[in-house]
Structure 1
Amino acid sequence: MQEIAARLSDHDITAISAWLASLPAPASVSPAAAGTSTLPLRCGSVSTGTDEPQPAKQMTQQITGGTGLIARGEYLARAGDCIACHTVPDSKLFGGGRPMDTPFGTLYSPNISSDKETGIGNWTADQFYTMLHEGKSRDGSLLYPVMPFASYTKVTRADSDAIYAYLQSVPPVRQPNRPHELKFPFNRRQLLVGWRTLFFRQGEFRPDRTQSVEWNRGAYLVEGLGHCAMCHTQINALGGNTTSKQFQGGLIPMQNWYAPSLTSNREAGLGDWSIDDIVGLLHAGVSNRGAVYGPMAEVVYDSFQYLNEDDVRAVAVYLKALPSHSGEAQTAPPSVAQTDQLTSLVPLGRKIYEAQCVLCHASEGQGKPPNFPPLAQNQSIEMSSAVNPIRMVLNGGYVPGTRKNPAPYGMPPFAQSLSDVEVAAVVTYIRTAWGNRCAPVSVKEVNTLRSARIF
């Protein structure tokens, strides 16, 4: 079924969605019985891909950076970035209620604290594993895919039990779950049966025995707990990942941030990045190649900075091995209209850059790493979408304070001091100077983002 889904165009998916919406509601949706699984023969999250067992203590330290079931569960919950969705900023841990805007309406994350009435205090370990593995709640109802169960299904039973133990240990938060606010017909859960048929493939992670232990650990974290594909793969009209564009980047719906490609493409992805560059970015939030802003800053702050060095390096190793795809980098020569636009915008953009930006980012866009990232040959600048640099100029940007970078530098906003024309000019300049090869930015693009008032 997944092979069929991969061949569907957005038009086909929209048509299927409309047909599913027209179907009458069934009398009941009978949940499938929870699948059974066996515990691993030795302590640890992932088989090494070899027949040679490792000592339990060594595996535990390699995977969690600590000992004890609850400590291990806390580490894994960090790896899964559970805090980001299930904790409203400045509110009680795992109390839920954080709004998540989607094209289909607003969903609110549930309370996953240990409270027995409003949280998951009365859940069993089996029910928790079924939720992660099958995307079904305690009562058997199907979960909306804003919960990344399509990735979490890869989580092993041992890791699920550790996360469960940790969540049962956190203080209870008495806060009832807030009902979702979804548009018709997406508020009909029976439509999820069709979505799951197209986009959900259940099953724990299985190591590739042709790859190294480190590669397999990185694959487990990226594809499973880290659920990186949710942002870094283009989303189609039904809210599913476009399989043919896996990890090639895409616009995050409703957030107006563009998640860059994670493949080994040298122009659009991580092909030119060293392992140390990737590790530095994920662990500290900054590296010699760039800095994290927007949603990824939150991921680094809540999740990656707490992972051990071996795990972050494993992620980097796996990402560097992702295959490149043709067509990722759009370097087509500008059209006649775009050439005229460049002629009019670049001189103004250069003037603004020299007045406002050169102190931090240097005269040739080389930056002053790691505090001030380079703009020349920077994938975030050179992406086909100009959303990220426009937002950075309008709203400024601040990398997260992390253990390895506790006093980060930030970029001030220019929304109050630069007009739409000036913002378009300076962003066009940095996207076309120093060897960068991108289309110019229109005033309309800037105005759209400014009007959205997304900060």
Structure 2
Amino acid sequence: MTKHTLLALAATTALIGGWLVFPGPFAQAQIGDFARQERGRRLAAAGDCVACHTADGGKPFAGDRPIETPFGTIYSANITPDPETGIGAWTEEQFYRAMHEGIAADGHRLYPAFPYPWFTKVSRADVDDIRAYLRTVEPVRAPTRANEFTWPLNHRIAMAGWNELFFTPGEFQPDKRQSAEWNRGAYLVEGLGHCGACHTPKNMFGSAKTDQMYQGGEIQNWYAPSLAGDRRQGLASWDTEDIARFLKTGRNDRTTAYGPMAEVIKDSTSKMSDEDLQAIATYLKSLPATARQGSEAPDQDVVRAGQAIYADQCSACHQSGGVGVKGLFPSLKGDAVVQSHQPLSVLRIILNGGHAASMPESPNPLSMPSFGWKLTDGQIASVATYVRNAWGNKAGAVSSDEVRDLRKSVESAASAY
């Protein structure tokens, strides 16, 4: 019997037994149930695990990505199946406890930058499938860096008090009054998708304000807009197809994704099934409108100055009527991000520019150029105020102080790395 015949016989025997062990670095990845691991892969995508657990230029899931918080910088953990520096030695129970309670295998408490307050809603079966998938990725030896927190937050025991005040563990419970599609959407949005982690404002302790769920929140010098049913600042003017298309491709006829949301779409929602995206859209469209204070009319001298800057610097792409060019340049007319009560993202885009989400369905990788080098703080404030109040838009005026503060904050964050 030849060597090749022996190898073929061994492989056949392994397959008949229902498992296969890959040689080399994948030796730990015993494939017992491909369907289970494929479910886990899709669930890990829904949770956007790779984004936070992969450093720029690093191996997938090997951690060490810096995550800025108001309390300091946290470095994401290695979740590859390396037994010493990753989660290769973790049991299913330990992995579930981390997801469900925010407690690591060795018993130390996790910070909520790892969104266990949302992941706690994920079912045990789905958590086990995610672990099954993670055990198939390439193991990477990569110790986790110490977080840069000040006292007393550098002592994880402080999280016991935080959890007591702000965390309620428990898996998602379907609403029997709603459809199966609505419940699937709620499960994804409130659980693995952890949409509220960005799209909900936080209190001084870093906990989501539960009385303002999905009403928009600041994150790393960007503003995640409201997902509620407001006409100007939310999703009231979007239909479910608008939402599903945006999550799949990073754009629709109303807007284009930039900043952190472009990354979420690239790594997460674009990889989800059409059925799950439609379910998410169905759930989001059920969120009620919120009662927000109206904004005062901006100074007309500021608006006129902004209009002149817009005509000179912006109208070539976004058109004089703010409608953009379909499939190329996003419309500013009626855009919820433009009209958000917090102008952070609009200012960030004008200051620093950005890359639009680029997907197979929308492969045009257009970029917004930076104007921070050529426009003063006052000029940026003027053009932002104009855009937020032109073509039927209505939002508060922007001050030069807001632009100055954002410019300093972005420059400070960039110099830290």
Which residue pairs with 1:195 in the alignment? 162
| Alignment pair present for 1:247 and 2:210 | no
1:99-119 CA-partner distances (Å, limit 9, x unpaired): 112122211111100111111
Q: Which moved more, 1:308-317 or 1:186-195?
A: 186-195
Q: Secondary structure at the match of 1:101?
A: strand
| Alignment pair present for 1:266 and 2:231 | yes
Offset at residue 350 of structure 1 (A): 1.2
Which residue pairs with 1:326 in the alignment? 291
1:237-259 CA-partner distances (Å, limit 9, x unpaired): 1110111101111222xx11111
Which residue pairs with 2:74 in the alignment? 107
CA distance in 1, matches of 2:296, 2:40: 51
Which residue pairs with 1:42 in the alignment? none
1:246-297 CA-partner distances (Å, limit 9, x unpaired): 1111222xx1111111111222210111111111111100101101111111
Does the CA-based 8 Å contact 2:256-2:356 persist in structure 1?
Answer: yes
Which residue pairs with 2:379 in the alignment? 422
CA distance in 2, matches of 1:442, 1:266: 24
When the two structures are superposed, what TM-score results if normalisation uses the length of structure 1?
Answer: 0.81
CA distance in 2, matches of 1:196, 1:88: 28
CA distance in 1, matches of 2:394, 2:232: 10
CA distance in 2, matches of 1:436, 1:258: 18
Does the CA-based 8 Å contact 1:290-1:370 persist in structure 2?
Answer: no
Amino acid paired to 2:296: P
Residue 104 (structure 2) aligned to one of 132, 137, 153? 137
CA distance in 2, matches of 1:343, 1:400: 35
Does the CA-based 8 Å contact 2:221-2:344 persist in structure 1?
Answer: yes
Which residue pairs with 1:39 in the alignment? none
Does the CA-based 8 Å contact 1:305-1:403 persist in structure 2?
Answer: no
CA distance in 1, matches of 2:63, 2:34: 28
1:153-197 CA-partner distances (Å, limit 9, x unpaired): 111111111110111111110011111121111122222122111
| Alignment pair present for 1:305 and 2:305 | no
Moved over 3 A (4+): none
1:380-399 aligned within 5 A: 380-399=337-356
Does the CA-based 8 Å contact 2:244-2:277 persist in structure 1?
Answer: yes
When the two structures are superposed, what TM-score results if normalisation uses the length of structure 2?
Answer: 0.88
Does the CA-based 8 Å contact 1:215-1:314 persist in structure 2?
Answer: yes
Does the CA-based 8 Å contact 2:63-2:78 persist in structure 1?
Answer: yes
Output the aligned Cα RMSD. Answer: 1.5
| Alignment pair present for 1:183 and 2:150 | yes
Amino acid paired to 1:331: G
CA distance in 1, matches of 2:317, 2:35: 46
| Alignment pair present for 1:279 and 2:236 | no
| Alignment pair present for 1:236 and 2:173 | no
1:136-175 aligned within 5 A: 136-175=103-142
Q: Secondary structure at the match of 1:133?
A: helix
Amino acid paired to 2:163: R
Amino acid paired to 1:417: K
Q: Secondary structure at the match of 1:100?
A: strand
Q: Secondary structure at the match of 1:311?
A: helix
CA distance in 1, matches of 2:61, 2:372: 35
Which residue pairs with 1:433 in the alignment? 390
CA distance in 1, matches of 2:114, 2:273: 25
Does the CA-based 8 Å contact 2:172-2:191 persist in structure 1?
Answer: yes
Amino acid paired to 2:269: F
Q: Which moved more, 1:134-143 or 1:76-85?
A: 134-143
Offset at residue 421 of structure 1 (A): 2.1
Does the CA-based 8 Å contact 1:229-1:247 persist in structure 2?
Answer: yes
Amino acid paired to 1:195: W
| Alignment pair present for 1:207 and 2:154 | no
Offset at residue 73 of structure 1 (A): 0.9
Amino acid paired to 2:93: D
Distance 1:67 1:117, change over 3 A: closer
Which residue pairs with 2:30 in the alignment? none
Amino acid paired to 2:262: A
Amino acid paired to 1:355: D
1:205-252 CA-partner distances (Å, limit 9, x unpaired): 111111111101101110000001111110101110111101111222
Amino acid paired to 2:305: L
Residue 336 (structure 2) aligned to one of 373, 379, 397? 379
Does the CA-based 8 Å contact 2:328-2:364 persist in structure 1?
Answer: no
Sequence identity percentage = 47
Does the CA-based 8 Å contact 1:218-1:318 persist in structure 2?
Answer: yes
Offset at residue 344 of structure 1 (A): 2.7
Does the CA-based 8 Å contact 2:120-2:191 persist in structure 1?
Answer: yes
CA distance in 2, matches of 1:126, 1:376: 50
| Alignment pair present for 1:290 and 2:247 | no
Does the CA-based 8 Å contact 1:301-1:401 persist in structure 2?
Answer: yes
CA distance in 1, matches of 2:152, 2:77: 22
Q: Which runs of 5+ in 2 are unaligned?
A: 1-32
Does the CA-based 8 Å contact 1:394-1:414 persist in structure 2?
Answer: yes
Q: Which runs of 5+ in 1 are unaligned?
A: 1-65
CA distance in 1, matches of 2:191, 2:403: 36
Amino acid paired to 1:343: Q
Offset at residue 343 of structure 1 (A): 2.8
Residue 256 (structure 1) aligned to one of 213, 218, 221? 221
Amino acid paired to 1:125: E
Offset at residue 141 of structure 1 (A): 1.8
| Alignment pair present for 1:124 and 2:87 | no
Amino acid paired to 1:259: A
